[in-house]
Amino acid sequence: MKFVTVLAGPAWSTRLGVGLGILTLAVGLPSLASANPAGADAASPSTSAGRTAATAALGPYKMVNGFGRVLAVNGGAMLNGQKVVQWADTGTLDQFWYLDALNNGNWRIRDYKTDSFTNQYCLDVTGGSKAVGAKVQIWTCNLNIQQQWHILQLANGSLVFQNANSNLVLAVNGGDNVVGRDVLQWSYVASLDQQWDPV
């Protein structure tokens, strides 16, 4: 197994105002849950609104992957179940995201854009699936585990978003730079489509 040192270095922690400590990421490791930002036990996080709540919001940021493509909502339509894609940077509101720190040590990734009723939408794994290849969509923000993520920083400064429910990471279908490709969850393989920079 190949290990990569994950440094919560000054660049990310200074830019976002948080520190993650020094973590180790194992390529192919089934769980990275021990690397959540607050050091909380992520094996059984609470989904009760009374016990898990957003405590701070960082951003908004464009999330740019290693291919220079941004995380976007397909067509910019804010609807439950709308797919998330990689897209060219056009500066539209759906391409900006907040990182919401939760009080259990996990994070939500919330879109800047709202619908006409001001509902907020977060990255959500379809059906709470733990399967490799399950699609990532937007859904009205809640505290369900499929909307909770661990944030890990690689030695190159890029971030990896690991779903707290499945332990799989945010990736792009096909692992290439084609505009419009669906975003999904996948095993960590250190590819450019799995590396994200908040800018």
| Residue 39 near residue 32, CB atoms below 8 Å | no
Ordered structural domains, the chain, with CATH: 3-44+56-198 (2.80.10.50)
Q: Please compute, for residue 179, the number of CA atoms within 13 A of its CA located in the half-sphere on the CB side.
A: 5
> Given this model, what pLDDT does residue 52 score?
67
Nearest partner of 109 among 132, 81, 136, 89, judged by Cα: 136
Residue linked to tokens 């990275």: 32
Question: pLDDT (tens digit, 0 to 9) for every residue of the chain, 199 residues total?
Answer: 223 334 333 344 433 444 433 333 433 323 333 333 333 222 222 333 334 677 789 999 999 999 999 999 999 999 999 999 999 999 999 999 999 999 999 999 999 999 999 999 999 999 999 999 999 999 999 999 999 999 999 999 999 999 999 999 999 999 999 999 999 999 999 999 999 999 9
> Given this model, what pLDDT does residue 67 score?
98
What does the alpha-carbon distance between residue 103 and residue 117 come to, in Å, rounded to a whole number?
A: 27
> Given this model, what pLDDT does residue 163 score?
98
Q: Is 3 exposed, middle or buried (0-12, 13-18, 19+ CB in 10 A)?
A: exposed
